[in-house]
Structure 1
Amino acid sequence: MAQARGREPSYRLRRGWMPPAELFCGLDRVARGKPPFSKTRPEDMPHFIVDCSQEILRQHSEEAILARLHRAVNSTGLFEESDIKVRIHPFRIHAAGGAREDFIHVFSYIMQGRTVEQRADLSKRVVGELAGMFPAVHRIAMNVMEFEKATYFNRDML
Protein backbone atom coordinates (compact mmCIF):
# COMPACT_ATOMS: atom_id res chain seq x y z
CA MET A 1 0.00 0.00 0.00
CA ALA A 2 1.53 3.32 -1.03
CA GLN A 3 2.11 5.97 1.57
CA ALA A 4 0.39 9.31 0.98
CA ARG A 5 2.13 12.56 1.89
CA GLY A 6 4.49 11.01 4.44
CA ARG A 7 1.75 9.26 6.40
CA GLU A 8 1.99 5.73 7.67
CA PRO A 9 -0.31 3.40 5.75
CA SER A 10 -3.84 3.34 7.14
CA TYR A 11 -5.92 0.23 7.56
CA ARG A 12 -7.67 -0.83 4.39
CA LEU A 13 -11.42 -1.36 4.76
CA ARG A 14 -13.10 -4.15 2.85
CA ARG A 15 -16.28 -6.19 3.13
CA GLY A 16 -16.34 -8.48 6.14
CA TRP A 17 -13.17 -7.01 7.63
CA MET A 18 -13.22 -5.87 11.26
CA PRO A 19 -10.56 -3.41 12.39
CA PRO A 20 -8.25 -4.54 15.17
CA ALA A 21 -9.36 -3.74 18.73
CA GLU A 22 -6.53 -1.26 19.17
CA LEU A 23 -8.19 1.02 16.61
CA PHE A 24 -11.16 1.45 18.93
CA CYS A 25 -9.13 2.28 22.01
CA GLY A 26 -6.64 4.62 20.33
CA LEU A 27 -3.49 2.51 20.85
CA ASP A 28 -2.64 2.72 17.16
CA ARG A 29 -2.79 6.53 17.45
CA VAL A 30 -0.37 6.51 20.40
CA ALA A 31 2.02 4.30 18.42
CA ARG A 32 1.95 6.94 15.66
CA GLY A 33 2.65 9.77 18.12
CA LYS A 34 -0.95 11.06 18.25
CA PRO A 35 -3.07 11.43 21.40
CA PRO A 36 -5.48 8.55 22.12
CA PHE A 37 -9.23 8.95 21.77
CA SER A 38 -10.94 10.68 24.66
CA LYS A 39 -12.87 7.46 25.28
CA THR A 40 -11.99 3.81 24.90
CA ARG A 41 -15.29 2.99 23.20
CA PRO A 42 -16.51 4.44 19.89
CA GLU A 43 -20.10 4.15 21.14
CA ASP A 44 -19.83 7.59 22.66
CA MET A 45 -20.46 9.72 19.60
CA PRO A 46 -24.10 10.69 20.03
CA HIS A 47 -25.86 13.17 17.77
CA PHE A 48 -29.24 14.71 18.66
CA ILE A 49 -30.95 16.59 15.85
CA VAL A 50 -34.10 18.48 16.76
CA ASP A 51 -36.64 19.16 14.03
CA CYS A 52 -39.26 21.62 15.25
CA SER A 53 -41.71 24.28 14.23
CA GLN A 54 -40.08 27.70 14.25
CA GLU A 55 -42.79 29.03 16.56
CA ILE A 56 -41.43 27.12 19.57
CA LEU A 57 -38.37 29.37 19.51
CA ARG A 58 -40.62 32.20 20.71
CA GLN A 59 -41.05 30.33 24.00
CA HIS A 60 -37.40 29.35 24.55
CA SER A 61 -34.19 30.31 22.75
CA GLU A 62 -32.20 27.78 20.76
CA GLU A 63 -29.42 28.09 23.33
CA ALA A 64 -31.79 27.24 26.20
CA ILE A 65 -33.19 24.23 24.33
CA LEU A 66 -29.70 22.99 23.46
CA ALA A 67 -28.52 23.36 27.06
CA ARG A 68 -31.53 21.52 28.54
CA LEU A 69 -31.29 18.68 26.01
CA HIS A 70 -27.57 18.39 26.62
CA ARG A 71 -28.21 18.10 30.38
CA ALA A 72 -30.97 15.52 29.88
CA VAL A 73 -28.76 13.36 27.64
CA ASN A 74 -25.81 13.73 29.99
CA SER A 75 -27.97 12.67 32.96
CA THR A 76 -28.27 9.17 31.46
CA GLY A 77 -24.58 8.51 32.07
CA LEU A 78 -24.37 6.77 28.69
CA PHE A 79 -21.97 9.25 27.10
CA GLU A 80 -19.01 11.47 27.88
CA GLU A 81 -20.39 14.98 28.22
CA SER A 82 -17.86 16.37 25.74
CA ASP A 83 -19.06 13.90 23.06
CA ILE A 84 -22.73 14.96 23.11
CA LYS A 85 -23.75 16.90 20.00
CA VAL A 86 -27.11 18.69 19.81
CA ARG A 87 -28.43 20.85 16.96
CA ILE A 88 -31.76 22.37 16.03
CA HIS A 89 -33.50 22.64 12.65
CA PRO A 90 -36.51 24.96 12.99
CA PHE A 91 -39.05 24.88 10.15
CA ARG A 92 -41.01 27.97 9.13
CA ILE A 93 -43.33 25.99 6.86
CA HIS A 94 -44.64 22.69 8.21
CA ALA A 95 -47.73 20.56 8.73
CA ALA A 96 -48.48 18.06 11.45
CA GLY A 97 -51.66 16.02 11.28
CA GLY A 98 -52.74 17.99 8.23
CA ALA A 99 -52.65 21.28 10.11
CA ARG A 100 -50.13 23.88 11.15
CA GLU A 101 -49.52 22.50 14.63
CA ASP A 102 -46.33 23.00 16.62
CA PHE A 103 -44.10 19.95 16.89
CA ILE A 104 -40.73 18.78 18.17
CA HIS A 105 -39.06 15.58 17.00
CA VAL A 106 -35.58 14.53 18.13
CA PHE A 107 -33.62 12.22 15.87
CA SER A 108 -30.78 10.63 17.78
CA TYR A 109 -27.89 8.69 16.32
CA ILE A 110 -25.69 6.67 18.65
CA MET A 111 -23.13 3.92 18.15
CA GLN A 112 -24.63 0.45 18.47
CA GLY A 113 -24.15 -1.36 21.74
CA ARG A 114 -26.75 0.12 24.08
CA THR A 115 -29.56 -2.01 25.45
CA VAL A 116 -33.19 -1.44 24.51
CA GLU A 117 -33.79 -0.30 28.09
CA GLN A 118 -30.97 2.28 27.90
CA ARG A 119 -32.26 3.64 24.59
CA ALA A 120 -35.83 3.80 25.91
CA ASP A 121 -34.66 5.63 29.05
CA LEU A 122 -32.73 8.10 26.89
CA SER A 123 -35.86 8.82 24.82
CA LYS A 124 -38.05 9.16 27.89
CA ARG A 125 -35.68 11.62 29.57
CA VAL A 126 -35.36 13.81 26.47
CA VAL A 127 -39.11 13.83 25.73
CA GLY A 128 -39.81 14.51 29.41
CA GLU A 129 -37.44 17.48 29.41
CA LEU A 130 -39.04 18.91 26.26
CA ALA A 131 -42.57 18.31 27.58
CA GLY A 132 -41.62 20.27 30.70
CA MET A 133 -40.28 23.13 28.60
CA PHE A 134 -43.21 23.14 26.15
CA PRO A 135 -46.37 22.03 28.00
CA ALA A 136 -48.67 23.33 25.24
CA VAL A 137 -46.90 21.35 22.47
CA HIS A 138 -48.57 17.96 22.15
CA ARG A 139 -46.47 16.57 19.32
CA ILE A 140 -43.14 15.82 21.02
CA ALA A 141 -41.31 12.62 20.12
CA MET A 142 -37.88 11.07 19.80
CA ASN A 143 -36.37 8.03 18.15
CA VAL A 144 -32.96 6.44 18.59
CA MET A 145 -31.08 5.07 15.60
CA GLU A 146 -27.77 3.25 15.84
CA PHE A 147 -24.55 3.59 13.87
CA GLU A 148 -23.03 0.29 12.83
CA LYS A 149 -19.56 -0.11 14.38
CA ALA A 150 -18.20 -1.95 11.36
CA THR A 151 -18.96 0.93 8.98
CA TYR A 152 -18.47 4.00 11.19
CA PHE A 153 -15.31 6.02 10.60
CA ASN A 154 -14.27 9.53 11.52
CA ARG A 155 -11.24 11.77 11.10
CA ASP A 156 -9.79 10.92 14.53
CA MET A 157 -9.57 7.28 13.45
CA LEU A 158 -7.14 8.08 10.60
Structure 2
Amino acid sequence: MPHIIIEHSEHLPILPQVLVERVHKAAIATDLFDPTTVKTRAPSYQHYALAQNIEGFIHIQAHIMEGRSTEQKQKLSEALLNCIATYCDTSYSLSVHVYDLLPEIYRKQ
Protein backbone atom coordinates (compact mmCIF):
# COMPACT_ATOMS: atom_id res chain seq x y z
CA MET A 1 0.00 0.00 0.00
CA PRO A 2 -0.42 2.80 -1.25
CA HIS A 3 -1.90 2.86 -4.73
CA ILE A 4 -0.68 5.95 -6.60
CA ILE A 5 -2.75 6.70 -9.71
CA ILE A 6 -1.43 9.43 -12.00
CA GLU A 7 -4.25 10.52 -14.28
CA HIS A 8 -2.94 12.76 -17.04
CA SER A 9 -3.62 14.30 -20.41
CA GLU A 10 -2.19 12.41 -23.33
CA HIS A 11 0.49 15.00 -24.11
CA LEU A 12 2.97 15.72 -21.35
CA PRO A 13 6.31 17.54 -21.12
CA ILE A 14 7.77 14.33 -19.64
CA LEU A 15 7.55 10.73 -20.83
CA PRO A 16 4.78 8.91 -18.95
CA GLN A 17 7.09 6.08 -17.80
CA VAL A 18 9.57 8.62 -16.44
CA LEU A 19 6.70 10.40 -14.67
CA VAL A 20 5.64 7.11 -13.07
CA GLU A 21 9.19 6.40 -11.90
CA ARG A 22 9.69 9.90 -10.44
CA VAL A 23 6.32 9.95 -8.63
CA HIS A 24 6.94 6.43 -7.33
CA LYS A 25 10.31 7.52 -5.91
CA ALA A 26 8.77 10.67 -4.41
CA ALA A 27 6.16 8.60 -2.57
CA ILE A 28 8.83 6.27 -1.23
CA ALA A 29 11.03 9.20 -0.18
CA THR A 30 8.35 10.40 2.26
CA ASP A 31 9.24 7.39 4.47
CA LEU A 32 5.53 6.87 5.12
CA PHE A 33 5.38 3.44 3.48
CA ASP A 34 7.26 0.20 3.13
CA PRO A 35 8.93 0.74 -0.28
CA THR A 36 8.01 -2.77 -1.41
CA THR A 37 4.29 -1.99 -1.10
CA VAL A 38 4.04 1.19 -3.21
CA LYS A 39 2.18 0.68 -6.50
CA THR A 40 2.11 3.41 -9.15
CA ARG A 41 0.31 3.57 -12.49
CA ALA A 42 -0.60 6.26 -15.00
CA PRO A 43 -3.69 6.10 -17.22
CA SER A 44 -3.79 8.81 -19.88
CA TYR A 45 -6.81 10.62 -21.27
CA GLN A 46 -7.45 11.67 -24.86
CA HIS A 47 -10.74 13.44 -24.20
CA TYR A 48 -11.03 16.20 -21.59
CA ALA A 49 -11.92 19.87 -21.23
CA LEU A 50 -9.76 22.33 -19.31
CA ALA A 51 -9.75 26.03 -18.47
CA GLN A 52 -8.61 28.50 -21.09
CA ASN A 53 -4.82 28.57 -21.64
CA ILE A 54 -4.35 25.23 -19.88
CA GLU A 55 -2.67 22.71 -22.20
CA GLY A 56 -2.87 19.58 -20.11
CA PHE A 57 -3.23 18.13 -16.64
CA ILE A 58 -1.82 15.75 -14.10
CA HIS A 59 -3.98 14.64 -11.20
CA ILE A 60 -2.59 12.20 -8.66
CA GLN A 61 -4.81 10.05 -6.50
CA ALA A 62 -3.02 8.48 -3.56
CA HIS A 63 -5.08 5.73 -1.97
CA ILE A 64 -3.65 4.83 1.44
CA MET A 65 -4.88 2.77 4.38
CA GLU A 66 -6.83 4.74 6.94
CA GLY A 67 -4.97 5.83 10.06
CA ARG A 68 -2.41 8.36 8.83
CA SER A 69 -2.44 11.80 10.44
CA THR A 70 -3.39 14.95 8.56
CA GLU A 71 0.26 15.99 8.70
CA GLN A 72 1.38 12.73 7.10
CA LYS A 73 -1.22 13.10 4.33
CA GLN A 74 -0.09 16.68 3.76
CA LYS A 75 3.53 15.52 3.58
CA LEU A 76 2.59 12.99 0.91
CA SER A 77 0.44 15.36 -1.14
CA GLU A 78 3.07 18.12 -1.03
CA ALA A 79 5.85 15.71 -2.02
CA LEU A 80 3.85 14.43 -4.99
CA LEU A 81 2.77 17.91 -6.09
CA ASN A 82 6.34 19.22 -5.84
CA CYS A 83 7.51 16.25 -7.89
CA ILE A 84 5.15 16.88 -10.81
CA ALA A 85 5.59 20.65 -10.64
CA THR A 86 9.26 20.10 -11.45
CA TYR A 87 8.30 18.92 -14.94
CA CYS A 88 5.38 21.20 -15.82
CA ASP A 89 4.94 24.92 -16.28
CA THR A 90 1.84 26.97 -15.51
CA SER A 91 0.12 25.78 -18.69
CA TYR A 92 -0.62 22.50 -16.89
CA SER A 93 -3.23 21.93 -14.21
CA LEU A 94 -1.62 19.98 -11.36
CA SER A 95 -3.42 18.45 -8.39
CA VAL A 96 -3.09 15.73 -5.77
CA HIS A 97 -5.69 14.15 -3.49
CA VAL A 98 -5.05 11.61 -0.75
CA TYR A 99 -7.86 9.13 -0.08
CA ASP A 100 -8.27 6.85 2.92
CA LEU A 101 -8.96 3.20 2.21
CA LEU A 102 -11.14 1.67 4.89
CA PRO A 103 -9.76 -1.67 6.08
CA GLU A 104 -13.30 -2.89 6.77
CA ILE A 105 -14.14 -2.79 3.06
CA TYR A 106 -10.81 -2.82 1.18
CA ARG A 107 -9.88 -6.24 -0.15
CA LYS A 108 -6.89 -7.55 -2.05
CA GLN A 109 -5.64 -10.93 -3.14
Pair in the same fold by TM > 0.5: yes
One of 103, 108, 113 as aligned partner of 2:62: 108
Question: After the TM superposition, which segments of 4 or more aligned residues of structure 1 sit over 4 Å from their partners?
Answer: none
Report the equivalent of 1:67: 21
Gaps of 5+ in 2: none
Q: Percent identity?
A: 27
Report the equivalent of 1:125: 79
Q: Within 5 Å, give how 1:15-30 maps onto structure 2.
A: none
* Count of paired positions: 109
One of 92, 97, 100 as aligned partner of 2:51: 97
Gaps of 5+ in 1: 1-44
1:153 aligns with 2:95: no
How much has 1:99 moved relative to structure 2? 7.0
Matches of 1:100 and 1:94 in 2, distance apart?
11
Larger Rg: 1
Greater relative contact order structure (CA < 8 Å, 6+ sep):
2
Describe the SS at the equivalent of 2:50: coil
Say if 1:75 and 1:137 are closer, same or farther in 2 by CA, change over 3 A.
farther
How much has 1:101 moved relative to structure 2? 2.9
How much has 1:100 moved relative to structure 2? 6.2
Report the equivalent of 2:40: 86
Answer yes or no: is the 8 Å Cα contact 2:58–2:93 preserved in 1.
yes
Matches of 1:61 and 1:97 in 2, distance apart?
23
Provide the aligned C-alpha RMSD in A.
1.6
Q: Within 5 Å, give how 1:44-55 maps onto structure 2.
A: 45-55=1-11
TM-score by length of 2: 0.91
TM-score by length of 1: 0.64
Residue identity opposite 1:50 in structure 2: I
Answer yes or no: is the 8 Å Cα contact 1:95–1:101 preserved in 2.
no
Q: Structure 1, residues 75-122: CA drift from partner, whole Å, max 9, x if none?
A: 110111111111111111211126763111001111001000000110
